[in-house]
Amino acid sequence: MPKIILNEKEIDFEEDINPYLEFEKLGVDFSCHNGVCGTCKIKVLKGMENINPKTEMEEEFPLDEDERLACQCHKLKGNVEAKYEEW
């Protein structure tokens, strides 16, 4: 079963799910849920290829190449390891 590893905590998930609840259980804070506020910004350490392509909202947000907005990660197809820092 694929895993999300966030700040060295991990959780298993079903493939092709929307991972919002899993990210939240691992400690990611969400606010707008629409790719506007940046509260949920994560740095992807491994597995970027397992996440859906960046959404239009993420393309407009000032993100580094290895960063994503967790609220815009709608499908995961395999292991993802990421880092999250509270703002």
Regarding 40 and contact with ligand FES (CB under 6 A), the answer is yes
Q: What is the DSSP string of 17-85?
A: --THHHHHHTT---SSSSSSS-TTEEEEEE-GGGBPPPPHHHHHS---TTEEEGGG---B-S-EEEEE-
Give the residue nearest to ligand FES (CB): 71
**Residue 21 engages ligand FES in binding (rule: CB under 6 A):** no
> Per rule CB under 6 A, is residue 36 in the interface with ligand FES?
yes
Minimum separation from the CB atom of position 1 to ligand FES (A): 25
Stretch binding ligand FES (CB under 6 A), from 1-9, 27-35, 45-53, 76-84: 27-35
